[in-house]
Amino acid sequence: MPWMDIEALFQELGGDVSERSGSRVAVVLFGEVRVFHRPHPLPDTDKGAVASIRKWLEEHGVTP
């Protein structure tokens, strides 16, 4: 899954996405701050990160 799609979803849900040092990205959503690693050089997010993000969203009532 392309990272840009995940960032767009966070923003669509009202999240604030900001750059951190290195390839890290902070997401403020649901009153929480989560820090993720932006994949590089390829744009695709690994399966483990996608599963973690999906679980976090589901915990807050966001389902596919």
For residue 64, the model assigns a pLDDT of: 76
User: Considering just the CA atoms, what is the radius of gyration of the chain in Å?
Assistant: 11
Prediction pTM value: 0.90
Integer angstrom CA distances of residue 15 from 25, 27, 28: 12, 6, 5
- Give backbone dihedrals phi and psi of 48, rounded to 5 degrees, phi first: -65, -45
Domain ranges, ordered by start, for the chain: 3-59
Please identify which residue in the block is written with the tokens 């767009």.
8
Write out pLDDT tens, residues 7-54: 999 999 999 999 999 999 999 999 999 999 999 889 999 999 999 999
β strands within 1-64, DSSP E: 16-19, 24-29, 32-37
Given CATH 3.30.920, say whether it is the number of domain 3-59.
yes
For residue 16, the model assigns a pLDDT of: 98
